[in-house]
Chains A and B, each alone.
Chain A
Amino acid sequence: MNIDTTKILEQMKAGAIDAAQSLAEGFVEEAEKDAGEFIDLTAPKIRGYLAALRSKNIDEDDFKRLMLALISVTEMKALTLAGLAAQKIKEIEAAIVKSLGDIAGGALKSIA
């Protein structure tokens, strides 16, 4: 029986790469867009806090608290992005395992 292991390994490698690429495609751009939009929205907020401070609608303590709260929300946004990335990694792992399983299964059938 002649088994072309090189060919099978090449198929497995190509399958794994295809699975990872198809799922990862667009993710980085999407995450950067999401983070960028969030950062863009913080500038008007800070300007609003400063205007409220100048017009004495809030005091310095309020301003400091709002800035700290804004930083905490930013941290939560970063955690969301981390979670979305972890979720994507989980999907890629599953897709690679499935792809390798399919190729290995196919190779076994051809032997049988």
Chain B
Amino acid sequence: MKKIVSLSLFAVLFAGCASMSNFDQNSYNSATELKSETAALVAHATEPASSHKDEIDALRVKLNGQLAYERGKGDANAISAKQWEILVDPEGNLLGNFLNDWQSARKVYSTTYVQESGKLFNEAFDEILKLEGAKSRE
């Protein structure tokens, strides 16, 4: 219950100082496509990254491009942009870091780790899609 209250409090505090951009069909479509591409690529992450170099590079370019697009909408889109930052950050804990470590061969991923990571990436994209989908269409 304490955690729920903390989450709700965080939400109210953040919402209190944030305005909201309107729904963006391009953002929604891009997130949907990137979610699918990520799932398809991550499923191969038990294999050497060298076998998927082009796909990893292409996905990273698209993710960074989307982050720049979301940031470019300005303060009204700060919450969505922050979500993309968390997902894409190469020094973070999600997809950006996963791709970096896979490609730098610092890590050989086990099947279970890849499966569980893939589920978390899916959930992260779902949060982005949920927020974008709830924005005003006026």
Contact = CB atoms under 8 A, between A and B. Distances in A.
Interface of A: 28, 31-32, 35-36, 38-39, 45, 48-49, 52, 57-59, 61-62, 65-66, 68-91
Contacts of B130: 80
A83 B20 contact: yes
B4 A32 contact: yes
Contact of B128 (A68, A76, A88): A76
A91 B82 CA distance: 22
Contacts of A74: 7
Given A32-B8, A79-B14, A81-B8, A86 B79 contact: yes
B69 interface: no
Contact of A76 (B13, B110, B124, B134): B124
Counting from the closest, the 10 A-B pairs by CB-CB distance are A85-B15, A82-B14, A81-B11, A68-B93, A57-B112, A86-B15, A82-B11, A76-B127, A83-B131, A62-B113
B134 A84 contact: yes
Interface stretch (B35-43, B45-53, B115-123): B115-123
B94 interface: yes
A72 B86 contact: yes
B117 A69 contact: yes
A65 B14 contact: no
